[in-house]
Amino acid sequence: MKTFPLEYESKKEILFSPEKPEKFEADILEIGPGRGDFLLSAAEQNPDKKLVAIELDKRRHRKMIPRVEKKGLTNILLIGGNARIALPRYFKPGTFEKAYVLFPDPWPKKRHYPLRLMSVDFINLLTDCLKEGGDLFFATDFWPYADWVVDNVAEVPRLKSLGKPYFTTIDDMAYYSPSYFEQKWRKEGRAIYYMRYQKVKS
Ligand SMILES: C[S@@+](CC[C@H](N)C(=O)[O-])C[C@H]1O[C@@H](n2cnc3c(N)ncnc32)[C@H](O)[C@@H]1O
């Protein structure tokens, strides 16, 4: 199944803030930070670590810039572009110790499944970018998406679930604080599904 028109995507400009670095080195990755609530809190908690956030929506990417500046955070690199393109283009395999995908767009209709972010291909890409022993964290309020991710991760033998048997609790989500969407869904009383996977030797 095709996932995204990547050839077209690869021609689009990629934005950087504060600027495009000479070397792409970092510790923590977030894909699709949206407003950046989790990102900012994780950066504040980890002043000695470098964080990278890749946001597809350029408007959201731009809106995060003053939020980062206002907090005086100098350990965040914001990338405006498609993670499917930016991740393999700029980051070497084994770069990150932690990667987060929080509340990706659910695309509930079956015909839209190819637009869902956490495909087997993308999970493989994220796994490549993790160090051995590194963690991939995932959260959603949408059960069918959680179930789909469980199936997709099963096709990536380099990832081992640290949940019981698949899902974990919020306490197991390192450096965690609820994102904008998590706060919104919690207010509505929705259940949240958390997953934590570790990259093991293949
Ligand atoms: C539902 S929002 C969740 C935002 C945030 N994580 C939260 O929980 O509040 C999903 C975000 O993922 C971004 N996104 C979707 N596909 C992406 C991709 N291929 N690369 C980077 N970001 C992506 C969207 O633009 C959007 O900001």
pLDDT tens-digit readout, 71-129: 999 999 999 999 999 999 999 999 999 999 999 999 999 888 889 999 999 999 999 99
Q: Going from the N-terminus, what domains does the chain have, and what CATH number goes with each?
A: 6-199 (3.40.50.150)
Task: Convert the pLDDT of each residue in 27-58 to its tens digit.
Answer: 999 999 999 999 999 999 999 999 999 999 99
Q: Which residues partner with 71 through β-bridges?
A: none
Measured between alpha carbons, how far is 122 from 50 in angstroms, rounded to an integer?
22
Checking if the pLDDT of 1 tops 50, the result is: no
How far is the centre of ligand 1, averaged over its atoms, from the C-alpha of 186 (Å)?
Answer: 18
How far is the centre of ligand 1, averaged over its atoms, from the C-alpha of 36 (Å)?
Answer: 10
How far is the centre of ligand 1, averaged over its atoms, from the C-alpha of 81 (Å)?
Answer: 11
Q: Among this protein's residues, is 105 annotated catalytic?
A: yes
pLDDT of the residue at 163: 77
Q: Is the CB of 55 under 6 A from ligand 1?
A: yes
pLDDT of the residue at 5: 67
CB 103 within 8 A of CB 188: no
- The pTM (predicted TM-score) of the whole model is 0.96
Q: Is the CB of 168 under 6 A from ligand 1?
A: no
